[in-house]
Structure 1
Amino acid sequence: MRTLLAILRYGQPAQTRLLVALAALFCFNLFNVFSLALIIPFLEILFAQAAPPEPYPSTLSLEAWKKYLFYQLYLFRLEVGPMTALVYFSAAIAVAILLKNAFRYLGAWHMTYYEHTLIQNLRNRLFAHLTALPLGFFVRMRKGRLLNLATQDVQIVQEAIIGTVYNLLNDPLTMLFYLGAMLVLSWKLTLVSLVVLPLTGWMISRLARSLRRKAHHGQRQMDVVLGILEEFLQGVRTVKAFSAEARERQRFLAANAAYTRFMIGLRRRMELASPLTEVLSVLVVLGLLYYGTFSVLEGQIKASEFITFIAIFGQFLSPMKTFNQAVSRLQKAVVSYRRIEGLLQQPPSEEYDRPGRVSVERLTEGIRVEGVGFRYGEKEVLRDVTLSIPVGARIALVGPSGSGKTTLVDLICGFYPPTSGTVLIDGRPLSEIDPVSYRRLLGIVPQDGTLFHATLLENITYGVEGPPDLARVWRVLELAQARAFVEELPEGLYTLVGERGQRFSGGQRQRLALARALYRDPQLLILDEATSALDSESEVRIHQALAELPRTYTLILIAHRLSMVRHADWIYVLDGGRLVEEGTHDDLLRRSGLYAHLYRLQVTA
């Protein structure tokens, strides 16, 4: 129940719709029972049943009122004639059915709006929370599991909620109205019919507990399936290169077969509720027919009342079945929502929550890293790193793979808080600076050159508010050595790049990513192996163009090709997470340390 209420809270913006739907469903059930109750006068008129005189009841006795109403019906039939009486009651039934269906449509319309609003808000909340999570969360979390949560689990909740909320609210209301009508007709027959309810309730509770456990295990198996699929899509080039298609097929087929077997068993359990309920209901109907016939023959109940009772009880079974099915569907939704809830409970990045942070409009002094250390869990990545990056400087970070260069840049960008030490921006701790205003000053070009499924123009102007400046777009494309191939495209800047930019080569993607960073007109430009996929001529041209940028740009360059960093103002050399050397290219070569060793290896190679 707690989980269901938590899900329903996402529909709060449409709560008025829910209240209107409930009112409409109340009226629908009222006219529904009323239209069924009109069977009694029809049968009384049809069989020309006589009724003894009955005075106006002086008490609230149900039996006294029933006898009085039967007598008034008898008088009405005598007064207007049986055919006229049938016309009147036919008109009453037609009006009741018309109103019943009108209120049913009204209730379903407002309920549909409420249900879809609920799912929309759940998706919005989930995506908004994903965007607020720290970068470290995405490093730890497997992408296949995240995809399953954001797609499969939300889809399961949607399939369970759409129509199910209607059943959960309307079916008990319908059964309550039918139960009231049955009690009015015969409380003894009603007691006989209620034998099915405790058994059905016990059965549903047992099935519900079992389904919750099974559904949770099923979603974990789907995590495995999607994880294999995600790994294949990301590493398809490697799979092809190693002729490992058959191995990947076997991995996927095995995981998918295990998931399918499990889901077949789960569906078999889910389908148990409806037939078991129907079998129990048939047994009750047989008991009702026997006891009801005996009561009619003994004069304890009128035949018209008994026939109407059976008709109403037959209607009572339908919402009971759909309610059981709704509860079964809801169990899978509960499990999926709890997985989603687990993600929503992940703490968001603290960088956006701290009040009183200072906005920065520009860098005036530079960046200072003081005694910074950082750990990924138990693994120490950086230890006691201290360095300075003055405004306008050209700084290079070099070192073997895994030495901590990219992590250090991530700390400077504020993607992670350092485990120890501090990063100062113009003498102020980065933790005291508004991250949004600070990152507007940054232009970052990662090694993979990620592009989004949009036009080239949208990719280049990404993150910059206002209409695009086409002259500026072409200028940065030329600076990034990308103008020539963009002009050759049939649709030019309006070419769709495809998912993850797969329509372009690695070198083209890097050039476009560089153009995107330059379009921001950043004060701090960070190139993380940003030209590694380029040919030597293009790489040299880009570095020459970057060298000619005005000193209002501060440049941090991470590169393995040390020939590309020899003109940097200052070079920091990292090894094993520690700063082991620093100086100019010529100074470092004279010292014959790690930098000189790496440089000579590349030259001789």
Structure 2
Amino acid sequence: MLNKLMHSPSHKSILRLLRNSMASTTPMAHLLHDTARQHWRLLMLYLLFVLLLSFSEACLFATIYQTMRLLLGAPSFTEIAGFGFTQGQRLFLLLFLISALQMVASMSRAIAGILSGRFAASCQRSILPEIHRYILSLSYGCVSSFKIGDLSHQATLAPLTINTEIDERIRLLTEGLLALIYSLVLFVISPWLLLMAGFLGFCIILTQSWLRPRIRLAALAVEQQRRNISGTITADLQVLRLIHTNACQEDSNRRFANEVEVFDQKLKKLSNLRSLLEPIAELLPVLAAVLLGTVSWILSDQQNGLLIPGLATFVLALQRLNIRLAKLALSLNALTENQPRVEILNQLLTPSGKIFRRQGGTPFSGLKEAIVFKNVSFRYSSRQEETLTSISFTIPRHGMVALVGPSGSGKSTLSDLLIGLLSPTFGAILVDGKDLQTLDLSSWQNSLGVVSQDVLLIHDTIAANIAFGSPVVPSPEAIRHAATAANADGFINRLPQGYDTMIGEHGHRLSGGQRQRISLARAMLRNPEVLVLDEATSALDSHSESAVHAALDSFSHGRTVLAIAHRLSSIRHADTILVIDAGKILERGTHDELIAARGAYADLWERQVHGLSRPHLHKQL
């Protein structure tokens, strides 16, 4: 749906009405149009029953009018038409018609309500996956700039926002049609009284026009504060361990209570404005009905027997018109309150200023020569200074390049560039002479195995976490083999459900070392051609680290490896070691060459192995 926002021709008039009700250039307008087009049968059926409701309501009032004339001795339609019915038969026929028409109207209203509910459910089913797909279509760097709570809130409310826009606009159409029918009834009875009723409608519209902008601003403030509350809850849940570790429950509760207090004040303001709408819409018509009835009685030169049916029908129709006007006011109010959510969704769905995940390109068919970083520089959009400056090095096929340096030096940024999560600001990454930007990103990433110090696990079984992201559905034997290679099979078998054990959100039921071994098993299962190791053994104890290092050494054989390490013993056999600091390469060479150079790397090695350091070199790292 979202990928066809600019290409959705319509062949249905109701769909054109829905499409044209908003500016055609906004993403929300195209999404509205696509949603209406996708569910046009349901919408047309809904509209059909609403029209049937309108028709039955009109016939009902005509029948009531004839019945009252008959009861007061005035000639009825059946008598004028010469059907020859007795008065009792005419009365029975009219009462039967009233019952039948009311039944048709009630059933039409009920079926229309059911169809409206089904449409809302259909919106939920079709829009939520589209919003989810759209968010995942954004580049990693772009989507990382959003607050998680905001994205979750917007994605969850998107179906409600779309459904409200379409449903309330249809309601405006149908309630307006019913109001027109009642106005025609009033016109038939007395054009002069209808003129007075029109003045009443003008007063209501004037009141609405004064209230709606204020309601919109109040609704915008409420929606923004609702997002803040959602973001606060999400943020607290993400750092729940930190809150419990530092006994910050009261601080978090106090901060959240302040957010809720602000929300309460803004919601009360919106509620105060909203509460004025319906009473005004109800009070003015009643006062007008009394006034109109009194004036028409005084000024009428008809006999009372002829006046009473018309006046009674007029008051009843005016009362129904009042209900329609009140519902029109509520629909306008609902659209006004929905407008802030529409604007927020428009901001999310507007492509301008956003970077999307690269699509298409040349499929990656395997590394034949080398990966070359050629004068690569990178700067995050939120920063002025460069994170990486003119980085150049080569990773030969089946070779290993290791990166060492202090935290924040740019090592992880280099690995993110190689993975394709980020794109160079300047320079290029060449894969067998081809710019990485020209390769199909999915096929490139399917050839990678990534083990990061920040282990990411999903709330599922251990087997599902190991199999996550595998290009093909792995067999249980393949999963077990990968776990064994990562030194994870032992602790997994000791768990009550073994490989079917649910690990909890972010794997909180496992230790740090266990989580990292599952991450290793996941990478091994993919059988990657290029291996990216970002502190792959940082959370392991010495015994497990030794076993996993042996597994990694064996697994890395015949693969192209980029490794990031603080423990230099794990990368001493790398073909090339790069010492990175402040986004620049300070030193490069093999372990022996760097030790012989007695520079920053040698100082770091001495500190790790012997606990010695040279102060002037220590400052560099």
Matched residues, number: 582
- Does the 8 Å contact 1:115/1:162 carry over to 2? no
- Does the 8 Å contact 2:137/2:357 carry over to 1? no
Partner Cα distance (2:101, 2:342) in 1: 41
2:32 matched to which residue of 1? 8
Is the aligned partner of 1:111 residue 2:116? yes
Partner Cα distance (1:470, 1:18) in 2: 48
TM norm structure 2 = 0.88
TM norm structure 1 = 0.90
RMSD between superposed Cα atoms in Å:
2.3
Equivalent runs, 1:92-171 vs 2, <5 Å: 92-151=97-156, 153-154=157-158, 157=161, 160-161=164-165, 164-171=168-175
1:247 matched to which residue of 2? 251
Specify which of 39, 48, 62 is matched with residue 37 of structure 1. 62
Partner Cα distance (1:114, 1:156) in 2: 11
Specify which of 409, 413, 423 is matched with residue 407 of structure 1. 413
- Does the 8 Å contact 2:200/2:285 carry over to 1? yes
Partner Cα distance (1:75, 1:423) in 2: 91
- Does the 8 Å contact 2:532/2:563 carry over to 1? yes
1:192 matched to which residue of 2? 196
- SS in structure 2 of the partner of residue 525 of structure 1: strand
- SS in structure 1 of the partner of residue 270 of structure 2: helix
Partner Cα distance (2:234, 2:43) in 1: 39
2:223 matched to which residue of 1? 219
Specify which of 281, 294, 299 is matched with residue 277 of structure 1. 281
Deviates further, 339-348 or 264-273: 339-348
User: Among the aligned pairs, what percent are the same residue?
Assistant: 28
Specify which of 411, 416, 423 is matched with residue 429 of structure 2. 423
Which letter maps to 1:547?
D
- Does the 8 Å contact 2:455/2:519 carry over to 1? yes
1:455 matched to which residue of 2? 461
Displacement of 1:344 in angstroms is 1.0
1:28 matched to which residue of 2? 53
- Does the 8 Å contact 2:120/2:163 carry over to 1? no
Is the aligned partner of 1:17 residue 2:23? no
2:508 matched to which residue of 1? 502
Alpha-carbon distance change, 5 to 292 in structure 1, aligned in 2, over 3 angstroms: farther
2:5 matched to which residue of 1? none
- Does the 8 Å contact 2:372/2:392 carry over to 1? yes
- SS in structure 2 of the partner of residue 87 of structure 1: helix
Partner Cα distance (1:562, 1:211) in 2: 63
- Does the 8 Å contact 1:460/1:513 carry over to 2? yes
1:54 matched to which residue of 2? none
1:310 matched to which residue of 2? 315
Alpha-carbon distance change, 207 to 160 in structure 1, aligned in 2, over 3 angstroms: farther
Runs of 4+ residues deviating >6 angstroms: none
Partner Cα distance (2:266, 2:529) in 1: 56
| Cα-to-partner distance string for 1:316-348 (whole Å, 9 max, x where unaligned) | 111211221122122221111211110111455
Alpha-carbon distance change, 380 to 465 in structure 1, aligned in 2, over 3 angstroms: closer
Specify which of 366, 369, 373 is matched with residue 369 of structure 1. 373
Equivalent runs, 1:481-560 vs 2, <5 Å: 481-549=487-555, 551-560=557-566
Displacement of 1:464 in angstroms is 2.5
Which letter maps to 2:488?
A
Partner Cα distance (1:449, 1:101) in 2: 59
Partner Cα distance (2:610, 2:263) in 1: 54
1:344 matched to which residue of 2? 349
- Does the 8 Å contact 1:441/1:524 carry over to 2? yes
Partner Cα distance (1:201, 1:381) in 2: 58
- Does the 8 Å contact 2:223/2:341 carry over to 1? yes
Is the aligned partner of 1:177 residue 2:181? yes
Displacement of 1:604 in angstroms is 3.9
Partner Cα distance (2:203, 2:126) in 1: 38
Displacement of 1:434 in angstroms is 0.7
Structure 1: runs of 5+ lacking an equivalent: 52-69
Displacement of 1:559 in angstroms is 1.4
Displacement of 1:296 in angstroms is 4.9
Structure 2: runs of 5+ lacking an equivalent: 1-20, 612-621
Displacement of 1:513 in angstroms is 1.3
Alpha-carbon distance change, 139 to 74 in structure 1, aligned in 2, over 3 angstroms: closer
Specify which of 223, 230, 242 is matched with residue 234 of structure 2. 230
Which letter maps to 1:23?
L
